[in-house]
Chain A
């Protein structure tokens, strides 16, 4: 069986799945809109949590948060299932497909056969839509891919029951109930306010303060950890900032697209101005990545290079502080 489902490519998997499922149900909500309303823009540095042997730095909230906040703010009801038994998980999925209902799935990336090998890490919060089944093969709309793809029963079972942090446990979800009219205006304001609060939070490892903290650490890394480790850590920041899913510049460009759309819906020209401003800040993040990559490419240990990229981060932090203060006032 095959459900008539339109695949739209997106930058980020979570927003993409939500946007595609909503569009399927007749609500034309773009990816940046999902991202903005769900307050997807974030920054956090978690020193005690190691990812790939480097401290965790994230430009987004916890997996699943964007969708949770988005559906709450628009009063959309979402049905969620988790399973212990692999067979039951498959039967439940097959039943939904039979009912002509495309569903979202949380999966692990490591065993996704259609991803290039280099991208297959143990990251368990990837999202996709299943929109049909032919023989023993599932039809998959993975929003980060340009085109739809397929997975066999066995392959899908493996990724649905990946283990480790954020283990999906067969997590399956779909929207079941929409309010009569989606109150976008209110949801947008809530989303923006919450992002401003997060980014300006008086917590040393979160938001603007977190960016400053990382800048300070970068200056110390080459001396304290040695060139090799310092470069590995720096590379990890760049990967978190630019890897598939961020839309570039640590999500700043998606946020710019959101503010542009929001400015029309709220008829607030100030948001359009701020959209330009966050775009410029995104460009600064790109510059930072470029300079950082020069350091680890040349494997040069000159402390000066680290100081220079740290200076860039400090400038970004100052600009973002200013930006979010203005954004808070603008709505």
Chain B
């Protein structure tokens, strides 16, 4: 990559006004560093990934409202987690967390367990029990 070709496309980095460092070659063929504000192919890839997550959140929300899953799965998606990440945050086995996805099991959870989830998701127990309460 030539220094003059270091891309300066618009990207999500702008929101915090930071530019990333790239390595490129100057006119004399020597390596130098240069800052880049972003590169479109990358931004598209990232936006696609974000969109994918948003779709998962939407689907989880519908499933909660249809009583097909518990709010825990919804909040897990909101926090970009998967089952193993969530299990390690709450300190429980994966199968146990998965079991808590069942609405019938979730309803019977005691405050201690609910509290664990609420702390990880940084919400109140009321918000955990009702995803539309915020």
Contact = CB atoms under 8 A, between A and B. Distances in A.
User: A and B: real partners?
Assistant: yes
Interface in B77-113: 79-82, 84-85, 88-89
A239 B42 contact: yes
B42 A242 contact: yes
Interface stretch (B10-18, B58-66, B67-75, B126-134): B10-18
A265 B60 CA distance: 57
**Most chain B CB atoms below 10 A, which of A122, A144, A239:** A122
B39 A242 contact: yes
Contacts, number: 121
A231 B47 CA distance: 12
A43 B111 CA distance: 47
Interface string A224-255: 00000001100110110011100111000110
Interface stretch (A67-75, A82-90, A95-103, A292-300): A292-300
Contacts of B12: 116-119
Contact of A239 (B1, B29, B49, B79): B49
B41 A289 contact: yes
A114 interface: yes
A207 interface: no
A293 B81 CA distance: 25
Nearest to B23: A253
B27 interface: no
B44 interface: yes
A9 B34 CA distance: 10
Interface residues of A, number: 53
Nearest to A255: B23
Nearest to A249: B1
A146 B80 contact: no
Contacts of B36: 248
A180 B50 CA distance: 50
A116 B1 contact: no
B16 A110 contact: no
Interface in B32-54: 33, 35-36, 39-42, 44-50, 52
Interface in B1-33: 1, 12-13, 15-16, 18-25, 29-31, 33
A278 B41 CA distance: 21
B89 A164 contact: yes
A65 interface: no
Nearest to B35: A146
A248 B23 contact: yes
A52 B19 contact: no
Interface stretch (A128-136, A209-217, A279-287): A279-287
Nearest to A272: B29
A172 B31 CA distance: 32
Nearest to A143: B21
**Most chain B CB atoms below 10 A, which of A163, A236, A238, A244:** A163
Contact of A275 (B31, B33, B81): B31
A260 B85 contact: no
A187 to B, nearest CB: 20
Nearest to B47: A118
A107 to B, nearest CB: 15
Query: Nearest 9 A-B pairs (CB), nearest first?
Result: A293-B41, A257-B31, A253-B23, A164-B85, A235-B45, A163-B88, A238-B45, A118-B12, A163-B89
Interface of B: 1, 12-13, 15-16, 18-25, 29-31, 33, 35-36, 39-42, 44-50, 52, 79-82, 84-85, 88-89
13 contacts: A32-B23, A110-B79, A120-B80, A121-B80, A145-B18, A146-B18, A146-B35, A163-B88, A232-B52, A235-B45, A249-B1, A292-B41, A296-B45
